[in-house]
Chain A
């Protein structure tokens, strides 16, 4: 079946620290992989995506590489800011039925 497992939170970092949020998946077929971000009181926004193996998605200093051999899509940022405080969701999308599967979310708090 299809599922996503991501790192439990919450995560608290100091400003300018390095961030890694782990995400692994199981999937039938060839999924696309996504990271969504949810700021307090808001809906989910697409942060980055990768549609095939070895693709790297990047946006706002965040990066994630689609690793088929390890079935992973870890999110990284070299220097976090207070404004990055949010909940981050890893997700996979499958063509059949256009369904999406989400991880449980990782809450990130960045302190000055």
Chain B
């Protein structure tokens, strides 16, 4: 049971570099989302997708891009990393209907 798999687990970037955080799920869930977790702020929604080919912005989308070409994959792209994007990023998936979300193990990103 793989569930939701995120890679990498840790990453250090220099300001201005780009990178892609990978997320894959094997539960055939329609809904996938990306959150960032910062101290004292809980989890904030970055982008989400309700199905292949459909994405939308969440609470804090600036500086991030997403695409959903398949049901299984939902990568998050940082085009030009900034220190303010230092955070822990979580990918989650769920079935339609407001049932529980399943989370990956997280990616700890540091931008220097």
A residues with a Cβ closer than 8 A to B are 31-32, 34, 36, 42-46, 49, 51, 89, 93-95, 97-100, 102-105
Separation of A46 and B98 alpha carbons in the complex (Å): 14
Q: Which residue of A51, A89, A95 is within 8 Å of B43 (Cβ)? A: A89
Cα separation A56 to B94 with both chains bound (whole Å): 22
Q: Knowing A43-B90, A98-B50, A99-B48 touch, does A105 contact B42 (C-beta < 8 A)?
A: yes
- B96 nearest CB neighbor, chain A only: A98
Q: How far is the CA of A45 from the CA of B33 in the complex (A)?
A: 16
A45 and B90 alpha carbons, distance in the complex (Å): 12
Inter-chain CA distance A45–B103, complex, in Å, is: 7
Residues of A within 8 A of B103 (CB): 36, 43-45
Shortest CB-to-CB span from A97 to chain B, Å, is 6
Q: By the criterion CB–CB under 8 Å, are B48 and A97 in contact?
A: yes
Which residues of the other chain, A, contact B35 by a CB distance below 8 angstroms? 102
Q: How far is the CA of A105 from the CA of B95 in the complex (A)?
A: 24
Residue of A nearest to B3 (CB): A43
Question: Does B40 sit within 8 A of A, measured CB to CB?
Answer: yes
A31 CA to B100 CA in the complex, in Å? 11
B13 close to chain A: CB less than 8 A = no
Please give the distance in Å from A27's CB to the nearest CB on chain B.
11
Question: Which residues from chain B contact A36 at a C-beta distance below 8 Å?
Answer: 103
A72 to chain B, nearest CB (A): 18
Contact B104 A43 (CB under 8 A): yes
Which A residues touch B50, using CB under 8 A? 97-98
Interface string of B84-95 (1 = CB under 8 A from A): 000000101011
B1 at the interface (CB under 8 A from A): no
CA–CA, A103 to B41, complex, Å?
A: 8
- CB of B53 within 8 A of chain A? no
